[in-house]
């Protein structure tokens, strides 16, 4: 993934540490060696992505790929998605929604808000591992733009 | 004062009877008084006739005396004429008096006395006339002077007066009696009229009060009814909300249960992968015979741990299935229904088509009634419902006979239709008739794969469509599933499950 000077950083917002670990393991198995930054709640993740002032200046010139779970303890992933996609510094960063919900309305809503990919976590582990590995392979060939 | 229906009937009947009695009393008294009046009027006519006869008789007697006196004075026959004439009439008049007075036996004696007096008087007068004719006028005067004739005449006058006065008294009595009768009639009529008016007024009052009561009661019923409808609507809304809450709850719970399950399954797989590495190492390195710890470790890696992992896996798989089933149910409950016109005939033949292969293989057939109606409902839900029922019919067929499935429909009251899916399968024991609709519950021999979700799902969907599903079954004979569905889903007041998007 973008073997330029600035490596792409994967921001993983996932409250379940087990899931986070499994996701990380399987992405690694796909040969993705980029840095993965895990966050277990929305507040911290937003602080990193948009800065303490919420302006998004901190993300300028970063290359970010965001893995987002919708069920977070302090806010819903949709709030985060909305903030990221409406901020000029982060709006071009690809957001992959990776969640357990397969509700059609939820999926539509995420794409309406600008989500780039929506993936439902398969419940059985083989499916889950497989999906994450494929996602990892996808990451490997994906171009991530540098933010403004 | 409230009047009960029975009190009204009782008092109405009583009023009616009283009024009838008063009317009968008036009519009866009138009839009686009229006949009385007729009797008295007849009586007074008779008495008047008696009086007239008596008066005439008295005049005749006086006429005879007058004629006799004239003759005695003048000795001329011309003066005798009245006497003769009256004398000729006397007998007839006496007879008339007798006849008219014959009704009263108490008058017989005076009448007889009058007859005697008349005879005696006539005899006396005839004697004097004869003596005058014979020229013995002095003798005749002497007879007159004897006062015998005068005494007779006085007596006759007295009797006549008494009789005539008696007759007049009787007439007066009759008239007075008639007056009394008439005033009686007036009083009775007045009283009767008063009673009738009173009864009518009472009945009218009762009827008015009762009618007013009825109207008030009707108003009350209407108000209660309106309140009831309102309450029903409120309860329905409450139930709808409760149902929504349960659906949401089920959804959230199952959803949240999935997350840890993914971890359990995931790390079990990781564990298994790690175990594979250990096993491979043991296979490659072998177990040193002098190390018991290594032997135990090998046993753990090769047997115990894989067994434990196997149990964890089968349990998590099962749990996964259960959670998915609940999720499916709750999702069905939350799905927005799309009412559209659905031809049941077409829908059911499509559903039958999908099991046709299995049915033909088992040598059976599916029969659709030719007159299946159309409904306005959610097509997808109906497809799933009938698909499930037909799948069950095929799945739980009896191995002893070729499968026969019959589908028919008939209208039910309240704009509903009843669809029956009948099979000749193995049947369901009576104690399981309700249970099979519960989630994860199955009936009979567990020789077919399944999780006990189908019928629970069917019932949830049918109820979501405003209907219900029940079954009739006999073990070894077959099962009939009965679906009661509204003809038009839009007419069914139901908000649960069709939340706005």
Q: Does B179 touch chain A (CB under 8 A)?
A: no
Answer whether residue B48 shows pLDDT above 70. Answer: yes
How confident is the model over B228-232, as a mean pLDDT?
Answer: 88
Which pLDDT score is estimated for B104?
A: 79
Closest by Cβ to A100, choosing from B259, B331, B501: B259
How confident is the model over B418-431, as a mean pLDDT?
Answer: 91
Answer whether residue B200 shows pLDDT above 90. Answer: no
Answer whether residue B462 shows pLDDT above 50. Answer: yes
Which pLDDT score is estimated for A6?
A: 59
Q: Does A22 touch chain B (CB under 8 A)?
A: yes
The pair of structure tokens assigned to B21 is 């009695």
Q: Are the CB atoms for B377 and B415 separated by under 8 Å?
A: no
Answer whether residue B469 shows pLDDT above 90. Answer: yes
- pLDDT tens for residues B8-44? 788 888 888 888 888 888 888 888 888 887 888 888 8
How confident is the model over B489-493, as a mean pLDDT?
Answer: 75
Q: Does B320 touch chain A (CB under 8 A)?
A: yes
pLDDT band at B500 (very low <50, low <70, confident <90, very high): very low
What is the helix (H) or strand (E) element at residue B412, kind and residue range?
strand B404-412
For the beta sheet containing A9-13, the strands, ordered from the edge strand earlier in sequence to the opposite edge, are A36-39, A9-13, A64-68, A95-99, A117-120
A18 contacts on B by Cβ (under 8 Å): 260, 262-263, 266-267
Which pLDDT score is estimated for B341?
A: 92
**What value does the mean pLDDT of chain B take?**
85
How confident is the model over B123-149, as a mean pLDDT?
Answer: 85
B323 contacts on A by Cβ (under 8 Å): 123
- Mark B456-473 as b/e (b = at least 16 C-beta within 10 Å): bbbbbbbbbbbbebebeb
Pairing mode, strands A64-68 and B339-343: unpaired
- Give B327→chain A minimum CA distance, Å: 11
B268 contacts on A by Cβ (under 8 Å): 125
Answer whether residue B151 shows pLDDT above 50. Answer: yes
pLDDT band at B221 (very low <50, low <70, confident <90, very high): very high
Q: Which residue in chain A has the smallest CA separation from B501?
A: A105
Pairing mode, strands A64-68 and A117-120: unpaired
Angstrom distances, CA of residue A145 to CA of A57, A97, A136, B70: 16, 18, 17, 181
Residues ≥6 apart with Cβ < 8 Å to A103: B331
Which pLDDT score is estimated for B131?
A: 87
Question: Which residue has tokens 């540490």?
Answer: A17
- pLDDT tens for residues A104-122? 888 999 999 999 999 988 7
What is chain B's alpha carbon radius of gyration, rounded to the nearest angstrom?
64
Closest by Cβ to B258, choosing from A22, A105, A123: A123
Question: Which residue has tokens 């104690």?
Answer: B431
Residues ≥6 apart with Cβ < 8 Å to B393: B355, B403, B405, B421, B423, B425, B479
- pLDDT tens for residues A32-58? 888 999 999 889 999 999 988 888 888
Q: Which residues 262-291 on chain B approach chain A with CB closer than 8 angstroms?
A: 262-263, 265-270
More confident residue, A57 or A67: A67
B263 contacts on A by Cβ (under 8 Å): 16, 18-19, 22
How confident is the model over B233-238, as a mean pLDDT?
Answer: 88
Of B284, B262, B273, B280, residue with least CA distance to B309:
B273
Q: Which of B255, B259, B319, B323 is most worth mutating to test chain A (most A CB atoms within 10 A of its CB)?
A: B259
Indicate left, alpha or beta for A32 from its phi (over 0: left) and psi (-120 to 50: alpha).
beta
Query: Is the dihedral angle over the CA atoms B225, B228, B230, B233 positive or is it negative?
Result: negative
Residues ≥6 apart with Cβ < 8 Å to B360: none
B270 contacts on A by Cβ (under 8 Å): 22, 25
- Give A124→chain B minimum CA distance, Å: 7
For the beta sheet containing B478-486, the strands, ordered from the edge strand earlier in sequence to the opposite edge, are B365-368, B404-412, B416-423, B478-486, B468-474
Pairing mode, strands B404-412 and B365-368: parallel
Answer whether residue B185 shows pLDDT above 90. Answer: no
More confident residue, A123 or A94: A94
Closest by Cβ to A16, choosing from B259, B268, B269: B259
Beta carbons of A125 and B258 less than 8 Å apart? no
Q: What is the percent of chain B where pLDDT is above 70?
A: 98
Which pLDDT score is estimated for B317?
A: 83
d(CA A53, CA A60): 14
For the beta carbon of residue A27, count every other beta carbon within 10 angstroms: 23
Three-state secondary structure call for residue A123: coil
Q: How many CA atoms lie within 13 A of A55 on its CB side?
A: 5
Beta carbons of B270 and A22 less than 8 Å apart? yes
Q: What is the percent of chain B where pLDDT is above 90?
A: 13
- pLDDT tens for residues B287-317? 777 788 888 888 888 888 889 999 998 888 8
Q: Does A133 touch chain B (CB under 8 A)?
A: no
How confident is the model over A12-21, as a mean pLDDT?
Answer: 90
Beta carbons of A100 and B262 less than 8 Å apart? yes
Answer whether residue B4 shows pLDDT above 50. Answer: yes
Angstrom distances, CA of residue B124 to CA of B117, B118, B362, B399: 10, 10, 153, 150
Of B25, B28, B36, residue with least CA distance to B182:
B36
Three-state secondary structure call for residue B473: strand
Beta carbons of A101 and B266 less than 8 Å apart? no
User: Helices (H), strands (E): how many in chain A?
Assistant: 5, 5
Q: Does A57 touch chain B (CB under 8 A)?
A: no
d(CA A39, CA A34): 16
Q: Are the CB atoms for B17 and B71 separated by under 8 Å?
A: no
Beta carbons of A128 and B266 less than 8 Å apart? yes
| Domains along chain A with CATH numbers | 9-141 (3.40.50.2300)
Backbone angles phi, psi at B335, to 5 degrees: -70, 140
User: Roughly what angle, to the nearest 10 degrees, separates helices B108-133 and B5-74?
Assistant: 20
pLDDT band at B501 (very low <50, low <70, confident <90, very high): very low
Beta carbons of A128 and B258 less than 8 Å apart? no
For the entire predicted model, the pTM comes to 0.51
d(CA B56, CA B49): 10
Which pLDDT score is estimated for A68?
A: 93
How confident is the model over B208-212, as a mean pLDDT?
Answer: 88
Q: Which of A27, A122, A123, A126 is most worth mutating to test chain B (most B CB atoms within 10 A of its CB)?
A: A123
Answer whether residue B496 shows pLDDT above 60. Answer: no
d(CA A16, CA A67): 13
Beta carbons of A125 and B262 less than 8 Å apart? yes
Q: What is the percent of chain A where pLDDT is above 70?
A: 95
How confident is the model over B418-436, as a mean pLDDT?
Answer: 90
Angstrom distances, CA of residue B99 to CA of A73, B47, B302, B353: 138, 12, 158, 123
Of B430, B439, B499, residue with least CA distance to B471:
B430
Answer whether residue A1 shows pLDDT above 70. Answer: no
């Amino acid at each position: 993934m973008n073997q330029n000077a600035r490596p792409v950083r994967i921001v993983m917002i996932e409250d379940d540490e087990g899931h986070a670990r499994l996701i990380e393991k399987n992405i690694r198995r796909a040969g993705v060696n980029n840095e993965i930054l895990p966050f277990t709640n929305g507040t911290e993740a937003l602080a990193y992505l948009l800065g303490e002032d919420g302006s998004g200046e901190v993300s300028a010139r970063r290359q970010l790929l965001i893995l987002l779970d919708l069920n977070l303890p302090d806010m819903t992933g949709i709030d985060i998605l909305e903030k990221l996609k409406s901020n000029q510094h982060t709006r071009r960063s690809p957001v992959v929604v990776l969640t357990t919900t397969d509700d059609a309305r939820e999926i539509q809503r995420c794409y309406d808000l600008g989500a780039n990919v929506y993936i439902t976590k398969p419940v059985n582990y083989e499916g889950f591992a497989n999906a994450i590995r494929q996602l990892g392979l996808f990451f490997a060939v994906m171009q991530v733009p540098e933010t403004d | 004062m409230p009047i009960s229906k029975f009190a009204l009937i009782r008092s109405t009947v009583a009023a009616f009877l009283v009024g009838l009695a008063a009317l009968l009393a008036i009519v009866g008294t009138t009839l009686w008084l009229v006949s009385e009046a007729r009797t008295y009027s007849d009586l007074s006519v008779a008495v008047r006739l008696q009086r007239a006869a008596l008066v005439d008789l008295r005049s005749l007697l006086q006429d005879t005396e007058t004629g006799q006196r004239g003759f005695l004075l003048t000795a001329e026959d011309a003066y005798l004429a009245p006497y003769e004439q009256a004398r000729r009439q006397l007998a007839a008049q006496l007879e008339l008096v007798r006849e008219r007075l014959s009704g009263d036996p108490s008058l017989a004696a005076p009448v007889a006395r009058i007859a005697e007096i008349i005879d005696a008087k006539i005899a006396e007068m005839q004697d004097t006339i004869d003596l005058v004719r014979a020229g013995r006028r002095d003798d005749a005067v002497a007879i007159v002077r004897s006062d015998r004739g005068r005494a007779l005449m006085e007596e006759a006058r007295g009797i006549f007066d008494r009789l005539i006065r008696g007759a007049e008294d009787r007439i007066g009595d009759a008239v007075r009696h008639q007056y009394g009768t008439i005033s009686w009639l007036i009083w009775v009529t007045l009283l009767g009229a008063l009673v009738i008016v009173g009864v009518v007024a009472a009945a009218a009052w009762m009827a008015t009060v009762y009618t007013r009561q009825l109207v008030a009661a009707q108003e009350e019923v209407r108000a209660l009814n309106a309140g009831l409808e309102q309450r029903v609507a409120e309860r329905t809304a409450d139930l709808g909300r409760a149902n929504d809450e349960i659906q949401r709850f089920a959804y959230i719970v199952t959803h949240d249960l999935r997350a840890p399950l993914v971890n359990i399954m995931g790390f079990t797989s990781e564990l298994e992968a790690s175990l594979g590495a250990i096993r491979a190492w043991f296979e490659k390195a072998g177990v040193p015979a002098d190390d018991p710890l290594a032997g135990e470790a090998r046993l753990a890696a090769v047997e115990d741990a894989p067994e434990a992992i196997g149990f964890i896996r089968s349990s998590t798989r099962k749990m996964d299935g259960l959670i998915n089933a609940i999720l499916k149910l709750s999702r069905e409950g939350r799905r927005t229904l799309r009412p559209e016109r659905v031809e049941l005939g077409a829908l059911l033949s499509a559903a039958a088509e999908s099991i046709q292969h299995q049915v033909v293989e088992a040598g059976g057939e599916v029969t659709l009634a030719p007159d299946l109606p159309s409904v306005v409902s959610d097509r997808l839900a109906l497809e799933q419902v009938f698909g499930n029922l037909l799948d069950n019919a095929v799945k739980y067929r009896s191995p002893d006979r070729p499968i026969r499935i019959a589908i028919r429909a008939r209208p039910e009251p309240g704009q509903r239709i009843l669809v029956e899916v009948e099979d000749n399968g193995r049947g369901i024991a009576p104690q399981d008739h309700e249970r099979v609709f519960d989630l994860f519950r199955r009936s009979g021999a567990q020789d077919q794969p399944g999780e006990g979700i189908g019928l629970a799902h069917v019932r949830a969907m049918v109820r979501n469509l405003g209907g219900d599903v029940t079954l009739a079954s006999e073990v070894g004979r077959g099962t009939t599933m009965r679906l009661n569905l509204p003809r038009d889903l839009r007419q069914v007041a139901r908000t649960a499950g069709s939340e706005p998007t």
